[in-house]
Every structure is written in C-alpha cells, then in structure tokens.
Amino acid sequence: MNSGSPLAEPWVEKYRPRTLSEVVGNEAVLERLRCIAKEGNLPNVLFVGAPGVGKTTVALALANDMLGPELAREAVLELNASDDRGIDVVRNTIKMFAQKRVSLPAGRHKLIILDEADSMTSSAQQALRRTMEIYSSTTRFALAANMSSKIIEPIQSRCAVIRFRRLSEQEVSQRLLQVFAQERVPYDAAGLETVVFTAEGDMRQALNNAQATYHGFGMVSAENVLRVCDTPPPVALKRFLEACERRQLDAAVAELQTLWRNGYAPIDIVGTLFRIAKQHAMVVEGGERGRDLRLEFMREIGLTHLRIAEGASSLLQLTALAARLVQHADALQREKARA
C-alpha cells in the first residue's frame, strides 16, 4: 500500500490550469474568453454550471491571460461567497478593493472573482448590484454559480451569462492520463474508465478520486476506485439489467440483494443504474424494439428513483423495480411471438 506523502499537494491545485490554453473542455466558451483576454475589455460575467467543470479556474486563468501573473496578484480579488456571503463583505472587503488604486495598462480593469455567488444572501446581492454600477469604470466582476436562478435579476442583467457544460468522458480521461504520466501512477484501462464513470463530468472529483485511490492502494484499478468512491459496482448492475432482459427474475433480485447486503444505499443503486441503462445495449432484441425496451427500462428506473427520493427507500422498492423490468421484457417477448 502506498500511503503517499502526508503533505502531498492535492492534484486539483497542483495541476490547476494557469492560462486559458491549458483548460480542458467547453471549447466554445474558451474561444470567446480568449478574444476578451486579447482585447482586454472584460464585461461583468456570470459563469454558470455544475460543480467541477472549471468555472473558477477559467476566471483565474482569464485574469492571468489578461493582466499577467504579476499584475494579477495586485489587481485580482478572489472570494468564496459561500464563506463570505453577508452584506458586510460587500460593504467592506469588496468596496475597499474596488476603491484601491492599481496601475494597469490602458483598457484593463481590476477583477473581483466571487465563487459560489449563488450562496450570497439577498441583501448582499442587492448591495453588490450597486457596487458593480459605481465602480464599473475601474473594476469588473466574475461571478461563478451552480444555479443562475439564485442570482437576482438585476445582477444577471448586468452580466454576460456564460454557461458551462459537464466535461465529456474523453476530456476527463485525457487530463487524467496527463496527470498519471506526470505522477507515474500505475493504472489499468478498467481503473481509468471507472474513475471517469464515477466523476460524472466533474474534473475536480475525478482528480480527487484518482489521487485518493493512488495514495491509498498504490494502483488505480476498478476495484480500488470503487472502494474509495463507495459506488455500486457498474459490472453488477449490468448483470442485473441483462438478467431482467432475459426475464430471469431470481438472478436479477439476487444481484440487488448482494448490493443491499454490502450496504449500498438504494438512491445510489438506482442513480448508477439509470446512467448504465442509458448506454446499455439490448441483449434480447435489436433494432427499434430494442430501443423501445430500453426506454421502458429507463422510465421504470426513473419512477423508482422518484419514490426512493421521496422516502420509500427499501429493498422492497428495488425488488419491485426488478419485477417491472422483467415484466416489460416478457411483454415484448410475447408480442414478438404473436408476430
């Protein structure tokens, strides 16, 4: 077992992109921002997207490209609004920085980066709106939020809203391979695939899971990754789906009971199962009928996810799901026999 150095630097910080050219994913967004960095006239921007897709990293990289590393240290203020979320921070910290005099090239502005801006209180957002107006000639704002609906309309109207999508599996895999090469991490193809699968397009989670697996076990394999992430094994859930398609109810229920005895939460089992079902190839029927069966499976899994999320979290719900999936496969088989 390789425990790694007790003071090992987190990979998310060690390999954080410093310039826009190093950022992975959301290429259309990056192309627009490269033009802004070149011209220098940055508007107030609101970056919106899921966690771990690079919103804060892009804001910092944009500041470095636009101002240079030296000036960025003086002319950029980064705050996490989930910690500093009250009106006093806007009135004191942000306002004082906006009033601060910094010698910048023509056409360049100071930049205030507010991470988790959707965690700010309503009164703080109202105060921020006024600050954005008063100091617009010298200071620009880059706000990062998971949900734009939690940002008040007056602030949204003062910003160019830029939406970030989740990273593709290929993009996450590409960056992981670069990090593995730098860190000399032993891995196998199944381990890499499992890290990408568990990350769900979140680069931060992918790097953290990979680092925890490497430092904990010395090898990034599928088994080790699942032990670190505590995710229901995708292989077992694929076997469950195949048993349902073959109308083998006992085998399907046995897979669920094994997962249940191993302590996996029903909400995690069903959530992972839905992701697998989306890309699962039908083994009973091909063509249009195969796609129809997959849609029925996804519909039933989605309804079960809703019931479990509302509190009906038991093995009975999972067993009932298996029965309904087998029932759909059986109905398709009988329809085929009649034809």
Q: Tokens in use for 81?
A: 């609004």
User: Is there a single domain that holds both residue 33 and residue 159?
Assistant: yes
Q: pTM for the whole thing? A: 0.80
- The ranges of the chain with pLDDT < 50 are 1, 3-6, 283-287
Cα-based distances in Å from 117 to 44, 200, 225: 13, 23, 32
Let me know if residue 321 belongs to a domain. Answer: yes
CATH code of the domain containing 249 = 1.20.272.10
Domain boundary among 229, 245, 262: 229
Based on the fold, state whether residues 46 and 60 are members of the same structural domain.
yes
The first and second tokens of residue 236, run together, are 């077992």
| pLDDT at 130 (0 to 100) | 87
pLDDT of residue 286: 47
**Total Cβ atoms within 10 A of residue 122:** 10
Full residue range of the structural domain in which residue 307 is found: 234-338
Q: How many domains does the chain have?
A: 3
Task: Answer yes or no: do 31 and 158 share one domain.
Answer: yes
Quick one: 147 and 69 in the same domain? yes
Q: In what order do the strands lie in the sheet with 76-80?
A: 76-80, 110-115, 139-145, 45-48, 160-163
Give the pLDDT of residue 7.
54
Question: Cα separation of 145 and 129, whole Å?
Answer: 16
